[in-house]
Amino acid sequence: PSQAKVGEAFSMCWEVLNRGRYHDQLNLAGAGGGNFLWAGHRHCTLQVAPGELHKVSYTLVPLATGHLELPQFDIYSHRHRAHVVKPSSSAHRHIFVKPTHLQ
């Protein structure tokens, strides 16, 4: 999402599709996001068959308001010996977190 409310959980999901003809092993590593509580594995290894789609979901709870930097993820392919997604190239790096209104 582009916005959230402090203290209210939202999901963040990565979809990983192996478009190649060979099996691949991917390492996912999450870092940063100190203004959020996390639910989900920050580091995991996926075995991805050709044509197979994996979804990796995280639940985040914002702890502060304002324009916050989201956790960053590095996805490394063992087959290609290269980073598929580098932390610095993640598309959506920030989210605006609104305060909750007291009732």
Tell whether the model's pLDDT for residue 50 goes beyond 50.
Answer: yes
- How many Å from the N-terminal Cα to the C-terminal Cα in the chain? 25
Q: CATH no. for residue 73?
A: 2.60.40.10
Query: Across the chain, what does the average pLDDT equal?
Result: 87
Q: Please name every residue paired with 43 in a beta bridge, in sequence order, or none if there are none.
A: 29
Look at residue 102 and tell me if it is in a domain: no
pLDDT tens profile 51-100: 999 998 889 999 999 999 998 888 899 998 998 876 555 556 889 999 98
Residue 63 within any structural domain of the chain: yes
pLDDT band of 102, cuts 50, 70, 90: very low
Q: Are 13 and 56 in contact (CB under 8 A)?
A: yes
Tell me, yes or no, whether 72 lies in a domain: yes
Q: Is 26 within the bounds of a domain?
A: yes
pTM exceeding the 0.75 threshold for the entire prediction? yes
